[in-house]
Amino acid sequence: MIKATMEAPPLQVFRQSADSVELTVEQKEIVRLKEEANAVLLCHNYQIEPIQQVADYVGDSLGLARQAAETDADVIVFCGVHFMAETAKILNPAKKVILPDLDAGCSLSDSCPAEKLAAYKEENPDLYVVAYVNCSAAVKALSDVICTSGNAMQIVEKVPEDREILFVPDQNLGQWVSNRTGRPMRLWPGSCYAHVLFSKESIERCRLEYPDAPVVAHPECVDSVRDLADEVCSTEKMVGFCRDHPSETFIILTETGMMHRLTRELPDKSFVAGPTSHCACNDCRFMKMNTLPKLLSCLQEQGPEIILEDQLIEQAKLPIERMLEWS
């Protein structure tokens, strides 16, 4: 019996186009409405390129949290996923925070329901909870401090040494931080469905085609993939690493939207999207739920709006502010 073999998908390489970008009619209307409403458009690195092109700020979770905390705009338009918009609302309870699609969720956030964390804490009352920002407002309210992939090691190193840490919800990021800091931690069994699709085999195949290209991986990847990387870091730090490294081509192991940010800021370099076993690149279906038509409608209707109870905001704000203070 002959066994069928699946041919690996062709690799996708991103380079900056030599052509200047002219905004579309739809994009120009988004910019006009944004200015009319005194709104700031905060955009995560994983958003589609047409949305990144009209954003006031494009960055990772830590950068977005800082921008949200410092903005003087009347309205925050958040192009990311639901927990990110919640974080902006927690930091700006008096401002209107709107999100193009309220259903833009997160597999990591879903992996850690607040009621399960509350029950676990009740059984283990002495644990110090470090929560990755990819979690709901209710989980943040149950945590002692929040972290992002960009500051997770720094935050964990500041936790009192006599406290046992529970790291939620990403076990891969938690494992990486524990290995780097030498700090033992209990790890919540959650993961990002997109980042765990990268495999040792798919990256090794990619390296055969680009043997001189450094591999840059997000810490949400599994350990067998991180072990192949020349650098493991947050999306924001990926920009700095690729800028400072002499190589002209890089293999990037994170969500595909990051390629637009990299090619825009580093136009003289090329970026190979890390492949999975079945796809040439790796899109997060939740991040891609935000579209230009939804963004335009969001500005026209001034909604859907993020609404949180005052008590929840107060409880969730403390660990976020502790993160900002510690980092």
Residue 208 and residue 186 share a domain: no
Residue 183 and residue 120 share a domain: yes
Q: What is the pLDDT of residue 4?
A: 39
Question: Is 53 among the domain residues?
Answer: yes
CATH code at position 255? 3.40.50.10800
Residue 157 and residue 129 share a domain: yes
Question: Is 3 among the domain residues?
Answer: no
Residue 145 and residue 115 share a domain: yes
Residue 168 and residue 126 share a domain: yes
Residue 250 and residue 187 share a domain: no
Question: Is 93 among the domain residues?
Answer: yes
Residue 120 and residue 95 share a domain: no
Lookup: tokens for 320: 């976020």
Question: Is 4 among the domain residues?
Answer: no
Question: Is 33 among the domain residues?
Answer: yes
pLDDT tens profile 29-85: 999 999 999 999 999 999 999 999 999 999 988 788 889 889 999 999 999 999 999
Q: Which residues are CB-contacts of 74 (< 8 A; sequence separation ≥ 6)? A: 37, 38, 39, 95, 96
Q: What is the dihedral of CA 87, 91, 92, 94, to 10 degrees?
A: 110
Residue 100 and residue 26 share a domain: yes
Residue 268 and residue 224 share a domain: yes
* Burial category of 31 from C-beta neighbours within 10 Å (exposed 0-12, middle 13-18, buried 19 and up): middle
Q: Are 21 and 53 in contact (CB under 8 A)?
A: yes
Question: Is 322 among the domain residues?
Answer: no
Q: What is the dihedral of CA 131, 136, 141, 144, to 10 degrees?
A: 0
Residue 188 and residue 209 share a domain: no
Question: Is 306 among the domain residues?
Answer: no
SS3 at position 212: coil
Domain that holds residue 157: 107-192
Q: What is the pLDDT of residue 1?
A: 38
Q: What does the alpha-carbon distance between residue 200 and residue 228 come to, in Å, rounded to a whole number? A: 8
* Burial category of 83 from C-beta neighbours within 10 Å (exposed 0-12, middle 13-18, buried 19 and up): buried
DSSP-derived letter for residue 190 is B
Lookup: tokens for 81: 């996923």
Question: Is 282 among the domain residues?
Answer: no
Domain tally, the chain: 3
Q: Which residues are CB-contacts of 7 (< 8 A; sequence separation ≥ 6)? A: none
Residue 177 and residue 111 share a domain: yes
Give every residue of the chain whose pLDDT is below 50, as ranges: 1-6
Q: What is the pLDDT of residue 3?
A: 40
Q: What is the 3-state secondary structure (H, E, C) of 297-316?
A: HHHHHCCCECCCCHHHHHHH
Residue 180 and residue 111 share a domain: yes
Q: What is the pLDDT of residue 15?
A: 81
Q: What is the pLDDT of residue 9?
A: 62
Last residue of a domain, one of 192, 213, 239: 192
Q: Which residues are CB-contacts of 94 (< 8 A; sequence separation ≥ 6)? A: none
